[in-house]
Amino acid sequence: MRSFFISLFFIIESCIALAQQRKDSVYSGNPVFQGWYADPEAEVFGKEYWIYPTYSAPFDKQVFFDAFSSPDLVHWTKHSRILDTSAIKWARRAMWAPSVIKNKDHYYFFFGANDIQSDKQYGGIGVAIANNPAGPFHDHLGHPLIPAFHNGAQPIDQFAFKDRDETYYLIYGGWRHCNIVRLKNDFTGLRSFDDGSVYKEITPEGYVEGPFMFYRNGKYYFMWSEGGWTGPDYSVAYAIGDSPFGPFKRVGKILQQDPAIATGAGHHSVINVPGTDEWYIVYHRRPLTETDPNSRVTCIEHMYFDKDGFIKPVVITNEGVKERMIK
């Protein structure tokens, strides 16, 4: 009889453990996947979520990109080295901040490389192409798409944006300046605007780097990172405008550190679940146990709006978000 109760006890304990495991598994947890990754761009392709981050390491080791896919925001599959310097002959280091967008039957991967400090150096923003979101990607041009400084903007931190009229733009810039350019339909170059200009500056107050834009309820939301990426006060702020060109007046910060959870919360992207008004923010942060600037991890939280359309401050968590499949 005693052995029966002992066995019963272990069965009950196992069931509780399995139930707890299942309960925990429906949350993504933060970080959402292991490894040092930063500057995450999140996209939806078909019924899958994708995250394309920077490999967070010293500049000379940043010579490749990994990607991650998920059907539900909880279970992630790693796709290793979908693009690296063997495919981009002009890139040698500091491959940063991917932005991936679908155009017709191809996927285009925009990235920064070489961390150029002046027009005397070779590098800037490039673009690669593949037949599916997992790559492998190969060089679309054989040279940088944007190889120089314009309006003071370092050619990094590019974000590809498709407007409602199906015009494609690239929004980019470091060193506290942000430009918007119009892409040719095949992404082989840039198109002039109606006034003959190619590079329009749209820098809002407080802008440092990491631009992102989305459209909701008749308004364009322009977001960016503030502060220094190596420090604890890295953060995300935003503005609202009536067009992709603004003018954009800063509203305020919506993502920043919580000293009880993590520091350096910034350089983000946003997911809108297709057919809904559900929104998520994907960003990087630095664990409290870490002091190395490159010790950054990718996390996800809900993003909510108030009744007037302003973004509510994001609460950063260790739990992350619940399972959410795309219907």
Q: Is 209 a catalytic residue?
A: yes
Query: Which structure tokens are listed for 158?
Result: 């590019």
CA distance 101 to 106: 9
- Residue of 84, 209, 226, 301 with catalytic role: 209
Q: Is 72 a catalytic residue?
A: no
CA distance 195 to 77: 46
SS (H, E, C) the chain: CHHHHHHHHHHHHHHHHHHHHHHHHCECCCCCCCCCEEEEEEEEECCEEEEEEEECCCHHHCCEEEEEEECCCCCCEEEEEEEECCCCCCCCCCCEEEEEEEECCEEEEEEEECCCCCCCCCCEEEEEEECCCCCCCEECCCCCCECCCECCEECCCCEEEECCCCCEEEEECECCCCEEEEECCCCCCEECCCCCCCCEECCCCCCCEEEEEEEECCEEEEEEEECCCCCCCCEEEEEEECCCCCCCEEEEEEECCECCCEEEEEEEEEEECCCCCCEEEEEEEEECCCCCCCCCEEEEEECCECCCCCECCCCCCCCCCECCCCC
- Residue of 39, 41, 66, 157 with catalytic role: 39
81's torsion region: left (phi>0), alpha (psi -120 to 50) or beta?
left
Question: Which sequence positions are flagged as catalytic?
Answer: 39, 209
